[in-house]
Amino acid sequence: MLDSQHVVIFGGSSGIGLAAAVQARSLGAELTLVGRNRAKLNQAADSLGGARVVVADITDRAEVEAVFAGLERVDHLVVTAGTFNAGRVADCDPDVLLHALDERIAGPLYAIKAALPLFSNRGSIILTGGQLSDRPTGNGVAVISAAVRGVEALAGALAQELKPIRVNVVAPGFTDTPLFDVLGETSKAFLQQVAESLPVGRVGQAEEIGAAILFMMTNTYINGEVLHIDGGGRLI
């Protein structure tokens, strides 16, 4: 279904982005994986049986532009690059907190702008939002919540501005990925506690969010949508 289509995934070396890469490859896609760490990218490419890999930080415009140098065509651009850089406004330097906006708004904008001349008309863009858009609860999530809400607004506007390219957002709830490695030894206990609070009694798996990304890639009538995959987390 994605035979010889080129899918570029910022964040494709881990978690949700890697799960999307695996599923896109199984449908025949050619892949470019982008992240900051070459070893992680190479490991991901090996697990896929090969992929083009580019080291770039999505918050660095020149590095993002270099990702697209030499590419002939982009059919789908996926952005899952991001970290969980939470912090309370009272305790943190605003510049540190604003990195969430660099990752989720500025970075995707750099990537979209650079990819546009290469886009095929059947193409689509899939950005990553999150449950915090609707449920900005927890300690120190103010700026990251604003960022994911901003992603939804950005995508809706771009779905009109960039037509016929489709622009959609996947909005994951808590999903068991290396994102939570920053919590160290407490990450398992944290996710277990979250699981018990959710209507489905568990957190999500990267493959489940990856499947949503593939759905938005391959259903050519879905556009300007925010697809929530959160086990009902927005309802509690």
Ligand X SMILES: NC(=O)c1ccc[n+]([C@@H]2O[C@H](COP(=O)([O-])OP(=O)(O)OC[C@H]3O[C@@H](n4cnc5c(N)ncnc54)[C@H](OP(=O)(O)O)[C@@H]3O)[C@@H](O)[C@H]2O)c1
Q: Is 47 in the site for ligand X (CB under 6 A)?
A: no
User: Using the rule CB under 6 A, is 138 a contact of ligand X?
Assistant: no
* Cβ at position 54, least distance to ligand X in Å: 10
User: Is 168 one of the binding residues for ligand X (CB under 6 A)?
Assistant: no
**β-bridge pairing 74-79 and 6-10:** parallel
SS3 (DSSP) at 164: coil
Which of 145, 165, 167 is CA-nearest to residue 155?
A: 167
Nearer to ligand X, 163 or 227 (CB): 227
Identify the residue among 5, 128, 145, 223 touching ligand X (CB under 6 A).
128
Q: Which residues pair with residue 7 across a beta bridge?
A: 31, 76
Our finding on whether 5 is near ligand X (CB under 6 A) is no
**Which DSSP symbol is given to 58?**
T
In angstroms, rounded to a whole number, what is the distance separating the alpha carbons of residues 101 and 230?
A: 22
b/e code 49-75 from CB counts within 10 Å (16+ = b): eebbbbbbbbbebebbeebbeebeebb
Q: Which stretch binds ligand X (CB under 6 A): 53-61, 68-76, 110-118, 213-221?
A: 53-61
The footprint of ligand X on residues 67-126 (CB under 6 A) is 80-84, 103
With binding defined as CB under 6 A, does residue 154 bind ligand X? no
35 binds ligand X (CB under 6 A): yes
Among 20, 24, 30, 40, binds ligand X (CB under 6 A): 40
Are 171 and 130 spatial neighbours (Cβ–Cβ below 8 Å)? yes
Among 26, 37, 186, 193, binds ligand X (CB under 6 A): 37
Using CB under 6 A, pick the residue from 24, 115, 179, 213 that binds ligand X. 179
Burial of 176 (0-12, 13-18, 19+ CB in 10 A): middle
Q: Does 61 bind ligand X (CB under 6 A)?
A: no
Q: Does 58 bind ligand X (CB under 6 A)?
A: yes
**Site for ligand X contains 57 (CB under 6 A):** yes
- Spatial contact of 43 and 236, defined as CB atoms under 8 Å apart: no
CB 212 within 8 A of CB 206: no
Does 217 bind ligand X (CB under 6 A)? Our answer is no
CB of 53 to ligand X, least distance (A): 10
Applying CB under 6 A, the residues found at the interface with ligand X are 10-11, 13-17, 35-37, 40, 57-59, 80-84, 103, 128, 130, 172, 174-175, 177-179
